[in-house]
Structure 1
Amino acid sequence: MAGLKTNQAWLVKTAVFGSVSQPSLAVGIGVIGQGDSPRSGYGPGITLLMTSMTGGINPVVTSGVNIADIFGLKA
């Protein structure tokens, strides 16, 4: 039973704080998609457009901007 508690603690640490084997952080830009499905597990998902681990992406907060506006698409 003690082994089970140890494994649970490791799982929580891994799930909350990222991968144990790769602790470095990256920045990513993605699009959140939501599909309509009666089945569970088919909810929101992210499609990554680009990532950077070397500081190549600098976040800028801009209110009222949507990816559809940036690409000239109609929602």
Structure 2
Amino acid sequence: MGTSGNQFKNAPPAGRFLATLVARIEAGHDHDRDPLRCTGEHTGLVVDLGAFSRKRPMAEGATSRTVLG
């Protein structure tokens, strides 16, 4: 659900990223060991989805151990 113009612009690629993650993980891909990358449909830019890995490195100084940390 978009809450502003910015979110409406972000929704399509975010949906594609999540759909790719779900489909590949359900097919047996180990995203934690080998993070997925998506190529932009219109730009051709590669986006590393490693930020969505449970084993991603923690941000410097992060202590909350949450998605925000």
Whether the TM-score (by the shorter chain) exceeds 0.5 is no
Q: Which has the higher strand share?
A: 1
**Structure number with higher helix proportion:** 2
TM-score range normalised by the length of the shorter chain: under 0.3
The structure whose RCO (Cα within 8 Å, separation 6+) is larger is 1
